[in-house]
Amino acid sequence: MQTKEALQEDSKLIERNDIRNVAIIAHVDHGKTTLVDGLLKQSHIFRDNQQVGELIMDSNDQERERGITILAKNTAVNYRGIKINIIDTPGHADFGGEVERVLNMADGCILLIDAVEGPMPQTRFVLQKALELNLQPIVVVNKIDRRDARIDQVLEWTQDLFLELATRDEHLNFPVLYAIGRDGVAMYHPDDERHNLEPLFETIINTVPAPKVDTEAPLQMLIAALDYDDYKGKYAIGRIVRGRMTANTPVAQISREGEVSRQKVSLVFTHKGLQRVEVPEALAGDIVAITGISSANIGETIADLEVPEALPTIAISEPTLKMTFGVNSSPFAGREGKFSTSRQLRARLYRELETNVSLRVEDGNTPDEFVVSGRGELHLSVLIEAMRREGYEFQVSRPEVITREDENGHLLEPIEHLVIDTKDTFIGVLTETLAARKAQLMNMTNDGLGNMRLEYSIPTRGLIGFRNAFLTLTKGNGAMSSRLLGFEPWLGKIGTTRMGALIASEQGVAVTYGLSNAQQRGDTFIEPGTPVYEGMIVGLNSRPMDMVVNVCKEKQKTNIRSSTSDIAVRLTPPVLLSLEQSLDFINNDELVEVTPQNIRLRKRYLTQKERARARELE
């Protein structure tokens, strides 16, 4: 098994100066996708009259709606006759698995850092992964036009981060550029004239090393990503490490376990802009997509049939959260979804494993349940939303942390590094809330303008449900992000309690009069005309205990008519919970029912008698 270093020592290596492979890495919202938009537009891959728009690479509906990159994607541009393969990666920590597997395809990386926020937890994570793979870094300080930009301070923090993470001297020798990604401009110095992204193109060509490869050696390629379309079938995407890939040629597929099977490559594609271009042959150093291998999986090697040598598989960090997906068992089951059986649910979840490398799926305690583990709440909620849009109907439990045991049998739980940027007026309520969630303050900085940065170590359990509380406590004036630090001894019970739920007492349709009575006891989640069933959660009680309410109750008619009796009851607008808010809201004895049309909250046991029996058995 040959490593990258061993290959570079080979005397037959040639330098491919016609190509550069670079990944763009950053924390979420620091402007990666916007910068890629600029690179694509300025490399003239679009027609002059072509309507392009924004967020060109974020083609997925959820990516556009949430404003984040979820899936890593490849594109390629030409600059002065040199092909630059660009890999756009996600910035959110929950999608770190996407970053880990695609960095293998690059020789260099552009580290994007916001001129206000500076290095954030995910910046550290992605830079650490890049330096472990010995990628040549280029630092770009982005958004320097922001009113509160602090360029010198951010650059100092970045240099400190490199000093901490660098494993070789050359890692500390990196060029720094300044950019406004939205305007499509980059400069060698913040005060330079702002024209275009040419300084960035030039820096990529001069800094990122050209691939040194042996094109005559036996073929080797590691599969780093998969794609699918109805016409060509499954695409296996990766970088050719050595040799050449030719269409209509038999190859060896080597699984993660080392099993070798004979396959045939049908078509070979390289990237040009956003299109895949069919080529008869591709050489080592190229990033290609190949068809014909329907059983291809991420982390497997495609090799020469005569010399089937495997490459090291991609090591992916373990998941930290799990939740149970089950067949919908509510009285409304089967009304709104196309796929609702356990067979269909199981097939879809196991199919997700082919492309979602940091996900884990296991069969649950019953044939109708499946335990799905992921990197965080967002990672799992994106999967739930994708399945819902595809027509699946199911129910999910509250997220739980995945624990471990050390060699002495002590229970360990995941601990995260939490960074909060907010105004100093909210420090009191945040400190109180986080203390109840077992968070420990590691660092606090004040920029002198009323902006605070707080750094905590906090158990992953303490972060479940905190995002919504954070937005409420800071009135939207704050940003938070976290990354996994490791596993530490269990910190004991976390004292976060929610008020009780308002539970529908019977099946029917919610009416104004019934909801008016419910609103005297707390906040409601539904509007008049909403179908409900017994055991469905329709609101939040203002007291700690659960309360059963009849939201279908209509006002009794009398023979006495009054001039004011027909005036409509005025209701307070309901609190409409999103999918993430619903997952944060529920307790262990509650579930979220997910269908293509609705998201409902419900008790695990629907009738009062069943809930009373379950309490007795606890």
145 annotated to a ligand binding site: yes
Banded model confidence at residue 325, pLDDT cuts 50, 70, 90:
very high
Which pLDDT does position 395 carry in this prediction? 92
Higher pLDDT, 105 or 495: 105
Please name the helix (run of DSSP H) or strand (run of DSSP E) that holds residue 159, with its range, or none.
Answer: helix 151-165
Residue 247 confidence (pLDDT) above 60: yes
pLDDT exceeds cutoff 60 at 66: no
Task: State residue 11's pLDDT score.
Answer: 52
Number of Cβ within 10 Å of residue 88's Cβ equals 24
Band the pLDDT of 569: cuts 50, 70, 90: low
Q: Is the pLDDT of residue 160 over 50?
A: yes
Task: Judge whether 264 and 249 are in contact, CB under 8 Å.
Answer: yes
Within the chain, all domains assigned CATH 2.40.50.250 are found at 501-617
The answer to whether 142 is a known ligand-binding residue is yes
**pLDDT at 46 (0 to 100):** 43
341 vs 615, higher pLDDT: 341
Q: Any residues with CB less than 8 A from the CB of 21 and at least 6 apart, and which?
A: 85, 87, 105, 106, 107, 108, 208, 211, 239, 285, 287
The answer on pLDDT for 451 being more than 90 is no
Predicted local confidence at residue 450, as pLDDT: 77
**pLDDT > 70: percent of the chain:** 88
User: CA-to-CA distance for 58 and 37, rounded, in angstroms?
Assistant: 10
| Summary count for the chain: helices (H), strands (E) | 15, 37
Written in H, E and C, the secondary structure of 407-454 is CCCCEEEEEEEEEEEEEHHHHHHHHHHHHHCCCEEEEEEECCCCEEEE
0.85 surpassed by pTM? no
Return the closest-CA partner of residue 505 out of 442, 441, 548.
548
Supply the DSSP symbol for 370: E
Q: Looking at the predicted structure, is the pLDDT value of residue 563 above 60?
A: no
372-396 pLDDT, tens digit each: 998 877 778 888 988 988 899 999 9
The helix or strand, by DSSP H or E, that contains position 32, with its residue range, turns out to be: helix 32-42
Q: Which residues pair with 73 in a beta bridge?
A: 88
> Taking 80 as the threshold, does the pLDDT of residue 491 lie above it?
yes
H-type helices in 314-371, by residue range? 342-352
Determine contact, residues 399/464, Cβ cutoff 8 Å. Answer: yes
**pLDDT of 93:** 54
Compute, in degrees rounded to 10, the torsion defined by CA atoms 9, 13, 16, 21. Answer: -40
Average pLDDT over residues 76-100: 72
Bridging pattern class, strands 301-303 and 249-254: antiparallel
Helix, strand, coil fractions of the chain, as percent rounded to 5: 25, 35, 45
The CATH code of domain 404-489 reads 3.30.70.240
Residue 469 contacts by C-beta under 8 Å, 6 or more apart in sequence? 433
C-alpha 450/C-alpha 430 separation (Å) is 15
Residue 201: pLDDT band (50, 70, 90) is confident
Residues β-bridged to residue 114: 142
d(CA 270, CA 281): 10
Q: What is the mean pLDDT of residues 70-80?
A: 70
| Per-residue pLDDT tens digits for 501-524 | 899 988 989 888 888 888 888 888
Q: Is 44 annotated as a binding residue?
A: no
Confirm whether residue 30 is marked as ligand binding: yes
Of 60 and 248, which is predicted with more confidence?
248
Q: What is the pLDDT of residue 394?
A: 92
* Bridge partners (DSSP) listed for residue 401: 321
Summarised one tens digit per residue, pLDDT across range 119-128 is 877 777 778 8
Picking from 388, 352, 368, the residue whose alpha carbon sits closest to that of residue 580 is 388
Model confidence band, residue 43 (pLDDT cutoffs 50, 70, 90): low
Closest CA to 462 of 420, 495, 501, 431: 495
Rg (CA), the chain: 27
- Using a 10 angstrom Cβ sphere, with 0-12 exposed, 13-18 middle and 19 or more buried, the burial of residue 148 is exposed
Instruction: Tokens for 183, please give them.
Output: 């305007």
Tokens of 111: 């580290």
pLDDT at 436: 86
- C-alpha to C-alpha distance for 412 and 392, rounded to whole angstroms: 35
Number of Cβ within 10 Å of residue 366's Cβ equals 11
Instruction: Please name every residue paired with 459 in a beta bridge, in sequence order, or none if there are none.
Output: 415
What's the rounded Cα separation, in Å, for the pair 359 and 352?
8
Task: Give me the half-sphere count of Cα atoms (radius 13 Å) on the Cβ side of residue 181.
Answer: 22
Helix (H) or strand (E) holding 470: helix 466-473
What is the arithmetic mean of pLDDT over 156-185?
85
Helix/strand/coil for 555: coil
Q: What are phi and psi of 349, to 5 degrees?
A: -65, -45
pLDDT score, position 536: 92
What does the pLDDT average to over 565-575?
A: 69
Q: Two tokens at 564? A: 């004011």
Residues 519-531 pLDDT 10s: 888 888 988 888 9
The Cα–Cα gap between 58 and 65 comes to 10
Domain 501-617 has CATH 2.40.50.250: yes
Sign of CA dihedral 274, 280, 282, 288: positive
Q: Which residue has the higher pLDDT, 85 or 51?
A: 85
Looking at residue 593, its pLDDT comes to: 92
pLDDT tens-digit series, residues 392-420: 999 999 888 888 888 888 888 888 888 88
| Beta-bridge partners for 541 | 522
- Fold assignment, 17-210: Rossmann fold (3.40.50)
Whether 108 has a pLDDT exceeding 50, the answer reads yes
Mean pLDDT of 73-83: 79
Fold of 213-303: Elongation Factor Tu (Ef-tu); domain 3 (2.40.30)
Question: What span, in angstroms and rounded, lies between the C-alpha atoms of 95 and 376?
Answer: 9
* Burial classification of residue 121, based on how many CB atoms lie within 10 Å of its CB (0-12 exposed, 13-18 middle, 19 or more buried): buried
Would you state the pLDDT for residue 483? 78
Q: How many CB atoms lie within 10 A of CB 63?
A: 19
85: phi then psi, degrees, rounded to nearest 5: -80, 120
Q: What is the mean pLDDT of residues 569-575?
A: 80
Closest CA to 302 of 356, 197, 222, 359: 222
Kindly report the average pLDDT of the chain as a whole number. 81
Q: CA triplet 518, 519, 522: central angle to 5 degrees?
A: 95
Most distant CA pair in the chain, distance: 102
Would you place residue 8 in the very low, low, confident or very high pLDDT band (cuts 50, 70, 90)? very low
Percent above pLDDT 90 for the chain: 6
Mean pLDDT for 20-47 is 72
Report the residue count for the chain: 618
Q: Who has greater pLDDT, 193 or 5? A: 193
pLDDT at 62: 54
Encoding tokens for residue 166? Answer: 């660098």
